[in-house]
């Protein structure tokens, strides 16, 4: 009887270890706190767990695994299996996707941003570019057009941007420079302190980030219609980890992307934007709307030079830059 019980206990223990062995856990490096910008990853984690009966889980960390500007490096060395980052943090490391950050591309909605991003991510040259960092592009975090919130005197013409210190990365930074501003690149988590200390007077963000990172708490003005562009912030996975998944796990992950993005866009439109406009009124933030002539002049000064410079620079890198640019502007022109 003692032998039988021992064998039964051993079998149960073996079964427990076997169950634990087949479970897959991925660590996911995000930053800040849960917000509209991270809802795609939060929903993806929920769906993957549901589809695998809890045998494949995504453990999301907000800043506990890496700095946001170092997430791509962490993916490269396998410090974690999934991460979110923004192309403008290190354009030299991911030049192919910076096409999506060029100013005045004409992208009119989150849906169009999603379509353009996925088209670029699926291009073979782009996949090869990110594979240098052992990264596979999984999905975008579509953002609406950025606008500027700041302290001090509000700008009412392009000339008023002359000398304005503004946090602006990528193509938006190039656009602000064309308007005479002084763009500064810094991570989102550093912006509020920089504004409080006077290092910058304004910041370029999407509405959710103005609320999440505190600029809306101190801003005196906000531009309603400059719409110079948006940053592109993909979610990537470590290629080795992706290839090590079982067929079922990989199907659960890949098959959840569209639903996660659907949720993200609905959440952003129905939640974030619904709070943004009333908050501007409540806080008495001046809403600065520029004339069509001013916006057209801004676009003329910034769009074509930035695009041409990007195409020349990245063609020299060996990328099909003109093809990627044409792909994005073609999708933008189609609209929804």
For the chain, how many helices (H) and strands (E)?
A: 15, 11
Residues 54-72 as b/e (b if ≥16 CB within 10 A, e otherwise) read ebbebebeeeebbebbbbb
Query: For 14-67, what is each residue's pLDDT tens digit?
Result: 545 544 557 999 999 999 999 999 999 999 999 999 999 999 999 999 999 999
Query: For 52-64, what is each residue's pLDDT tens digit?
Result: 999 999 999 999 9
The per-residue pLDDT for 7 is 54
Q: What is the pTM of this model?
A: 0.84
Q: Per the structure block, which two tokens stand in for 47?
A: 């769906």
Please, what are the domains in the chain?
Answer: 24-142+232-271 (3.40.190.170), 147-230+279-334 (3.40.190.170)
Q: Per the structure block, which two tokens stand in for 259?
A: 């639903």
Q: 87 near 126, Cβ under 8 Å?
A: no
CA angle 295, 296, 300 (to 5 degrees): 120
């Amino acid at each position: 009887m003692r032998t039988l019980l021992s064998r039964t206990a051993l079998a149960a223990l073996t079964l427990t270890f076997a169950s634990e062995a087949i479970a897959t856990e991925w660590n996911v490096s995000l930053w800040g706190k849960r917000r509209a910008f991270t809802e795609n990853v939060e929903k993806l984690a929920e769906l993957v767990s549901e589809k695998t009966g809890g045998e494949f889980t995504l453990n999301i960390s907000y800043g506990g695994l890496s700095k946001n500007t170092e997430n791509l490096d962490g993916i490269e060395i396998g410090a974690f299996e999934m991460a979110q980052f923004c192309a403008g943090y290190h354009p030299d490391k991911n030049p192919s996707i910076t096409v999506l950050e060029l100013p005045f591309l004409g992208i009119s909605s989150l849906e169009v941003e999603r379509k353009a991003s996925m088209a670029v991510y699926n291009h073979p040259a782009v996949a090869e570019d990110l594979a240098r960092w052992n990264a596979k592009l999984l999905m975008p975090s579509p953002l609406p057009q950025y606008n500027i919130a700041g302290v001090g005197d509000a700008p009412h013409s392009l000339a008023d941007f002359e000398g304005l210190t503004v946090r602006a990365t990528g193509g938006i930074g190039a656009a602000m420079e064309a308007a005479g501003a002084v763009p500064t690149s810094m991570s989102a988590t550093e912006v509020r302190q920089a504004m409080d200390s006077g290092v910058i007077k304004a910041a370029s963000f999407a509405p959710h980030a103005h609320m999440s990172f505190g600029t809306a708490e101190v801003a005196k003005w906000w531009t309603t219609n400059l719409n110079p562009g948006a940053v592109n912030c993909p979610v990537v996975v470590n290629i080795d980890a992706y290839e090590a998944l079982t067929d079922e796990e990989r199907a659960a992950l890949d098959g959840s992307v569209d639903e996660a993005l659907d949720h993200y866009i609905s959440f952003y439109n129905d939640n974030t934007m619904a709070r943004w406009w009333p908050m501007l009124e409540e806080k008495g933030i001046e809403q600065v709307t520029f004339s069509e002539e001013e916006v057209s002049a801004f676009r003329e000064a910034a769009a074509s030079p930035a695009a041409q410079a990007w195409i020349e620079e990245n063609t020299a890198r060996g990328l099909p830059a003109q093809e990627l640019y044409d792909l994005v502007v073609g999708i933008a022109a189609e609209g929804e």
